[in-house]
Each structure stands twice: as C-alpha cells, then as structure tokens.
Amino acid sequence: MSPPIQQQYYLIGSPVSHSLSPVIHNTAFAVLGLDLHYVTQDVSDEALGDIVERIDGVQVLGANVTIPHKEAIIPFLDGLDESAMKVQAVNTVVIRDGKRIGFNTDVTGFLEPLAHRSFSRVLILGAGGAARAVLVAANDFLKAEHISVASRRLEQARAACTDLQMGAAIPWSDMPHEARQADLIVNTTPIGMWPHTQASPLQRSSLRSHQVVYDIVYNPAQTQLMTEAKLAGAHAIGGLSMLVGQAAEAFTLWTGQQMPLLDVKKALQQHLETRSVS
C-alpha cells in the first residue's frame, strides 16, 4: 500500500528562504487540524512554467506568488479572478473546477493598517506586482488625488501606470523631491530586505513629520526606512500587517475557513523573538 500523498501549498518566488509565510500558514493548518503543508519553492524565471504545472489540485493544491513572478506567472495560468485582472498581478493561485486561477489578495492586505485613513498625495516606490496592488488600493480605496510611481526602471513604472490607467510615472532621481510632497509613501521594492538590512530607498532628509511611511518589507520587522521615518517624526508602518492580511484572504480562498489570526500572530511573534536572539 502506497503512503498517503502529502498535500501542499507552495510559495513561489526568489529569494524565499527569508519568508515568514510558512510560519503563518503551517500554524493555521495545525491549529485547525488540517493535514496540509506550506513549503517554499525558490524558482528561476526559466523554471516558472514547470512549477505551475505541479499545481495539480491533487498533491499541490494552490500557491502564493511573490517577487519576482507576480506578473510573469499570468501566461501560465488558466484564468484570472477579477481581483488579479484589475491589478494585472497574481499573488495567489487557486484550483477552481480543475483550472489554475490567479487571484490578488495584496490590495486587501495592504489596506489592513490604513482603515479610515485618506491621503491626497501618494508616492509608490517600485513598479512590480506589489506596486500595482498598492496603486489600485491608493486610487480606488484611498481616493488619492495624485499618485506617483518611481522605479529604477522608468519604463516599468510607465507600463504599470499605462496598464492600470492610473498614476504617473516619475524617474527614480525625482523620488526624494516627490517624497517631500507626499502624504503617504509606500516602499514596494526589496531595498532594505534581509540580508541587506542597512539599505533604505529614502533618507530622513526627504521625509516629513506629517507623513505615513509604509514599508511592505517585513524581514526585518523594523527596516532602515522605518527607522529613518521615525527619526523624521513620521508615522512608520511595517510589512507584517500586509503579510498577515493577504495571507488570511488566501487561506480562506484555499480552505473555505477563516485563518485563526490570534494563534498566527502569536506564532509569528515567538518566531521573530527566537530569531532575534539566535
């Protein structure tokens, strides 16, 4: 008799060794008594199509998608949910009627710590899949009057704004000036992410005390950009809220159940405390 198949969910990206998503989802599976496992898959551009083929609804039941594949994965899927179609980026793959369907839960996750806030002028750093979700959130939910997208590759920022028909692309060199005018600054780049934790896309001289500075990087929990923001008197938000928020929605899409958030947040805190000691 063959052993039972270990059913899994993937995290597809590169790099992914630093990710906290396995802690989140494996804690939730264990608390709810689900015999499921969440595993990371460090995937090159060339191997992306092959890894998507493994999401078969039998052994691999779905996936999260992170940097750098949120846009590149779309041609390998059978369809997109409205959430992913709007953003033109996918962070969650769900099997529906035997088909691989792309969803985007980043918008919901991003908005989690911004409830009841509004911003007139928003600056987004980066122009990848996460930036597209933030652009939609700022335009459709935060009702920002002016949204700038700065990328080290100006053509990528222009493509995001053109595809979504919102926002204005600006050169990376204009970013410090634009930052001084913004009410909300959002970093969607990997600048400052482990292991390059001393890096920051902006210095405190470009930040102001009235601003909200939101870094979606979550490892480390306190990024250098957040430190610069606090030194400037601004309100700093880290990426853990967005991480948990998008994960909770993906979890429900996969399992039909609500994520046990109190247990997940406790496990995350314990994991981060243990790692900071070691």
Tell me if residue 70 is catalytic.
yes
Domain ranges across the chain: 8-104+243-277, 108-238
Residue that the structure tokens 């909200």 belong to: 212
Q: Which of 213, 219, 218 is nearest to 232 (CA)?
A: 213
DSSP 173: G
* d(C-alpha 273, C-alpha 278), whole Å: 9
Q: Tell me what pLDDT residue 233 has.
A: 98
Give pLDDT, residue 276.
60
Q: What is the pLDDT along the chain (278 residues), one digit of tens a residue?
A: 556 778 999 999 999 998 999 999 999 999 999 999 999 999 999 999 999 999 999 999 999 999 999 999 999 999 999 999 999 999 999 999 999 999 999 999 999 999 888 999 999 999 999 999 999 999 999 999 999 999 999 999 999 999 999 999 999 999 999 999 999 999 999 999 989 999 999 999 999 999 999 999 998 999 999 999 999 999 999 999 999 999 999 999 999 999 999 999 999 999 988 876 54
Q: What pLDDT score was predicted for residue 275?
A: 73
Among candidate residues 70, 86, 143, 266, the one labeled active-site is 70
User: DSSP state, 114?
Assistant: G
Helix (H, G, I), strand (E, B) or coil at 42: strand
pLDDT of 93: 99
Decide: residue 158, CB within 10 A, 0-12 exposed, 13-18 middle, 19+ buried: middle
Match 């994991």 to its residue by tokens. Answer: 271
Cα separation, 134 vs 233, in Å, equals 23
Distance in angstroms (rounded) separating the CA atoms of residues 131 and 266: 28
Q: Which CATH architecture has domain 8-104+243-277?
A: 3-Layer(aba) Sandwich (3.40)
pLDDT recorded at residue 65:
98
Contacts of 89 (CB under 8 A, 6+ apart): 70, 71, 74, 104, 106, 128, 129, 130, 132, 133
Domain 108-238 CATH (choose: 3.20.20.210, 3.40.50.620, 3.40.50.720, 3.40.50.300): 3.40.50.720
- Residue 278: the pLDDT is 45
